[in-house]
């Protein structure tokens, strides 16, 4: 995933950290797609949300940010300049 996309996905709170979540062993993503999930961790170690990112071979990438209950807070889809 493009690090710039993660900068966009993080809220303006520097006290939150992203921790990558290991993919499921039954994940059937194709080799040309890169999907990554992260937990948003507060200073006290509590999970306060999630970010799911993707980058596809056709140049599209994006993220969805969720709160701790799974409600969508923000999302964005971008296309790489070619």
How confident is the prediction along the chain (82 residues), in pLDDT tens digits per residue? Answer: 555 666 666 656 778 888 999 876 665 555 445 888 999 999 999 999 999 988 888 888 889 999 999 999 999 998 876 5
**Could you tell me what percentage of the chain is helix, strand and coil, using 3-state DSSP and rounding each to the nearest 5?**
10, 45, 45
pLDDT the model gives residue 34: 81
Res 32: pLDDT: 44
Q: Give residue 35's pLDDT.
A: 87
């Amino acid at each position: 995933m493009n690090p710039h996309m993660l900068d966009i996905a993080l809220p303006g709170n520097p006290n939150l950290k992203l921790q990558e979540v290991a993919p499921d062993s039954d994940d059937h993503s194709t080799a040309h797609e890169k999907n990554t999930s992260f937990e948003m961790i507060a200073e006290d170690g509590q999970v306060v949300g999630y970010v799911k990112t993707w980058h596809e071979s056709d140049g599209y990438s994006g993220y969805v940010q969720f709160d701790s209950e799974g409600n969508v807070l923000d999302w964005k889809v971008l296309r790489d300049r070619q």
